[in-house]
Structure 1
Amino acid sequence: MPVVFRHKGFRFYFFSNEGDPREPMHVHVGKDGVDAKFWLWPDVVVAYNDGFGARTLRELAEMVTHRRREIANAWNEFFGEGN
């Protein structure tokens, strides 16, 4: 699973097999056995959450929004897709 970046102990990543057909562009975030998934477009929204509190989710959503282009570039590079 490609890791896009790490921040404050959180790992921002996606899986090398994101479904068939592939799911829309998104990023998973994990830390200490807890994880969440965020859709990137048209807006950053939580796709699922398995244990993060509301405040942490807001902070993660802000980080994903701030680094959305970097995440999208990593996704496109890995999967060989255009923007």
Structure 2
Amino acid sequence: MSKSLYRPETTILLKLLKEYRTEAGLTQADFAKALDRPQSFVSDIERGSRRLDLVQLRDICEVLGLSLIDFVTRYEQLVAESRQQ
């Protein structure tokens, strides 16, 4: 398997995170403040230069007002769709 950073699934994850953030009406700065992190943390995540662990992803989902299960379900749907193309 190739490194996860360079896999299409990573691109899907990053786009989905940014999509949910913008749909929530949050700037990177607002989002970072809600996470009690610097704005660069959010920027690094969205650019793919910072990886997330499960606990961080759960915190992100909480700030965005969705469950981790809903996030992962949507992610898996998008991955499946991308493989059908």
Pairwise TM-score range, normalised by the shorter structure: 0.3 to 0.5
TM-score computed with the length of structure 1 as normaliser: 0.35
> Which structure has more RCO (C-alpha within 8 Å, separation ≥ 6)?
2
Structure with higher helix content:
2
TM-score computed with the length of structure 2 as normaliser: 0.34
Structure with higher strand content:
1
